[in-house]
Structure 1
Amino acid sequence: MILPISSRAAFRDELLALAKNDKRLIDIEADLGGQTNQFKAEIPDRYFNMGIAESASLDICTGLAKNGLKPVFSTFAPFVALRAAEHVKLSLAYMHANIIIGSCYGGASGGWFGTTHQSLEDLAIIRALPGIKVACPYGEKETRLTLDHAVASNDPWYIRLGRNNSYSDILNVSEFTPYQWYQPLSTETKVCVVSSGEVATDFCTQVAQEKKVAHLHILESDITSLNKMRLVLEKIKVPIIAVEEHRQFGSLGTVLKTLNLKSEIISYNVNDKWPIYGGSHYEVLDYLDFSISDLKKQVSKFLKG
């Protein structure tokens, strides 16, 4: 049995595989390469480690994109979404430069690195910028398919990745799809959990083990893409619990509320505390009141009676 690898590792591996057949692909990194980067080893003339210079890296990516190349920029989520927010706005949103951002350390996956390396606000910022595709894949296969799809498109992309956790693929999908029903609606459904991202999808998979709980996994979660899913979302007649490893403002749940769906929408997110102690990914999430046990309590409220 081949064990899955993390989304961050899958992203790097898939980028190298694609670049071997597409000479337009350029790998730009901000102090992530290390000494064993395989892209650097195999295609050194298209690999550039820019150091801790996220804003300048995006400016370089813009020039490359506007000259027919396809730059893929990899860095930590808090550094690109917050530190370089103006450059994301101007290059990806305003200029619509065909740049793909592989944003690792999404959510609290930075764990022991602390608040500086945790990103619980990034999606609110990126979703506020029109024209940028937002994807939060789950598992190795979906990460690879997302990058394949992004490279084949002409749009700018923000792909939110984790750090080292790996998750087994739930469905044997062979092509990119913006959403998947992991547990479909039925006449017995009492509540529907809607997930975005790795930990949220893992939690929702665990709570949706019976027909009373449906599970819709959303991969592509920018506002434009969610609007295109309106017909799917309108079929949900039961309460929706939108689960995402993010602050409530700008989260999946708050965006779904802007669609004015008839179903009740409850956002399940991290709280507003700042982690003041180091810990593993899941220890930090426990401190932020984002856990499988708490989600089960939220779901159980709709299963009584």
Structure 2
Amino acid sequence: MPEVKKIATRDSYGNALAELGNAHKDIVVLDADLAAATKTGVFKKAHPDRFIDCGIAEGNMMGVAAGLAAAGMVPFASSFAMFAAGRAFEQVRNSIGYPHLNVKIGATHAGISVGEDGATHQCNEDIALMRTIPGMVVLNPSDDVEAKAAVRAAYEHQGPVYLRFGRLAVPVINDKPDYKFEIGKGVVLREGKDVTIIATGLPVANCLEAAEKLAAEGIEAKVINIHTIKPLDEELVTAAAKETGKVVTVEEHSVIGGLGSAVCDVLSEKAPTKVLKIGINDTFGESGPALELLKKYGLDTESIYQKIKAFI
């Protein structure tokens, strides 16, 4: 079999920004002294006059972004998820969310797959934080194709958007002619009648592989890619739950406040269903190779497969 192409979504972010900058002169990119890591350096090289390094001062960066948005520009404020969503939460809430300004937040290095940087940098709480801000759109793309599409969609959307990207290279799974990205709309990647797997971000590819392993044992899993955590595709989630009767959510994020919680919020009201949440179980991460950490914390293909099989 041909080797699957793998690309880190943080690379997709930098490339998409540089390309968008060619066509849209109102885009300005801000970074907090991490341009090499967040890949905004690609934009800086192409459009140095529209790049601002705010230094290690993420809260101030969000304030600058708010000012630029108020002046009619479309700022993309970039840093690691731990700093963009965590350290700068107050400024994101009060300076961007409250006035509903047209700021896009590019958060890279999210989740346990940050690896050797350890627990202090492995942000497994950012989706939960950003979901609570009124009017904030939360996007968590699964691969290179989807990440680039998410950046374009964020630019076209009027209002604040939080974009979540990863450090680890992940398989490209959406390189299909009929692929379409729309904010708030989930994507059915595989049909099935026995259980619905609803995944977001990095684990989506692993969920597809787990579904194949389940199929070999006669268990047909429906796989849905939810790239937009907020607004959630409630119609698709509800219909799938009613169709299969069991739901499994998978995310590289805490099981508290992320995709699983969003799905349960909807289903408890509209279609009470048995749900298994797979993610980081109310614990901090640790330093180690990304792939080994994903395995230890139960987000690799085999772990997902075994958990779903036991749930069924």
Verify same fold: TM over 0.5: yes
Matches within 5 A, 1:49-64: 49-64=53-68
Question: Shift in Å at residue 292 of structure 1?
Answer: 2.4
Matched residues in 2 for 1:30 and 1:229: separation?
A: 38
Which residue of the other structure, out of 256, 260, 269, is the alignment partner of 1:253?
260
Could you tell me which residue of structure 2 aligns to residue 219 of structure 1?
227
1:228 to partner: Cα distance: 5.6
Unaligned segments of structure 1, at least 5 residues? none
What is the RMSD computed on CA atoms of the aligned residues? Answer: 2.2
Does the 8 A contact of 1:112 with 1:280 survive in 2?
yes
Q: State the TM-score, normalizing by the size of structure 2.
A: 0.88
Give runs of aligned pairs for residues 133-148 of structure 1, distance below 5 A.
133-148=137-152
Per-residue deviation, 1:98: 0.8
5+ long unaligned stretches in structure 2: none
By percentage of residues, which structure has more helix?
A: 2
SS of aligned partner of 2:171: coil
Residue identity matched to 1:293: E
Deviates more, 1:76-85 or 1:248-257: 248-257
| TM-score, normalising length: structure 1 | 0.90
Judge which range, 121-130 or 230-239, deviates more.
230-239
**More displaced stretch, 89-98 vs 130-139:** 89-98
In structure 1, give the amino acid aligned to 2:157: S
Question: What is the deviation of 1:120?
Answer: 0.7
Q: Are residues 1:90 and 2:94 paired? A: yes
| 1:66 Cα deviation after fit | 0.9
Q: CA deviation at 1:152?
A: 0.9
| 1:31 aligned partner | 33
Hey, what's the Cα distance between the residues in 2 that align with 1:255 and 1:38? 34
Deviations 1:47-91 (A, max 9, x none): 111111110000000011011100011110011111111111113
The 2-side partners of 1:238 and 1:60 are apart by 48
Q: Deviations over 1:248-292 (max 9, x none)?
A: 11021122111122321111111233334x211122233334332
- In the TM superposition, residue 231 of structure 1 has moved relative to its aligned partner by 5.3
Is 1:202 the counterpart of 2:169? The answer is no
1:176 aligns with one of 181, 188, 194 = 181
Asked if 1:79 corresponds to 2:83, the answer is yes
Aligned twin of 1:131: 135
Query: Residue in 2 aligned with 1:241?
Result: 248
Q: 1:301 aligns with which of 288, 291, 310?
A: 310
3-state SS of 1:192 partner? strand
Partner-residue secondary structure (3-state), 2:243: coil
- The reply on whether 1:162 has 2:162 as its aligned counterpart is no
CA distance in 1, matches of 2:265, 2:18: 39
Aligned to 1:274: 284
Check 1:299–1:102 CA distance in 2 against 1; reply closer, same or farther (3 A cut): same
Q: Secondary structure at the match of 2:170?
A: coil
- Alignment-derived partner of residue 10 in structure 2: 8
Instruction: Give SS of 2:25's match.
Output: coil
Could you tell me which residue of structure 2 aligns to residue 122 of structure 1? 126
CA deviation profile, 1:83-122 (whole Å, cap 9, x unmatched)? 1111111133211111111111111121101112111111
Q: CA separation in 1, counterparts of 2:50 and 2:264?
A: 43
Single out whichever of 125-134 and 170-179 deviates more from structure 2: 170-179
**1:106 matched to which residue of 2?**
110
Q: 2:272: which partner in 1?
A: 262
- Structure 1 229/54 Cα, relative in aligned 2: closer, same or farther at 3 Å? farther
Task: Give the distance between the partners of 2:125 and 2:147, measured in 1 at CA.
Answer: 21
Report the AA paired with residue 240 of structure 1: V
> What are the Cα deviations for residues 176-205 of structure 1, in whole angstroms up to 9, with x where unaligned?
1321111123xxx2111110111x202211
> How far is the alpha carbon of 1:295 from its aligned partner?
1.5
Higher mean C-alpha displacement, 167-176 vs 226-235? 226-235
Alpha carbons 1:270, 1:285 under 8 Å: kept:
no
Q: Could you tell me which residue of structure 1 aligns to residue 300 of structure 2?
A: 291
Shift of 1:141: 0.7
Give me the whole-angstrom Cα distance separating, in 2, the residues matched to 1:234 and 1:114.
36
Offset of residue 233 of structure 1: 4.3
Once the two structures are overlaid, the 10-residue window that deviates more, 127-136 or 263-272, is 263-272
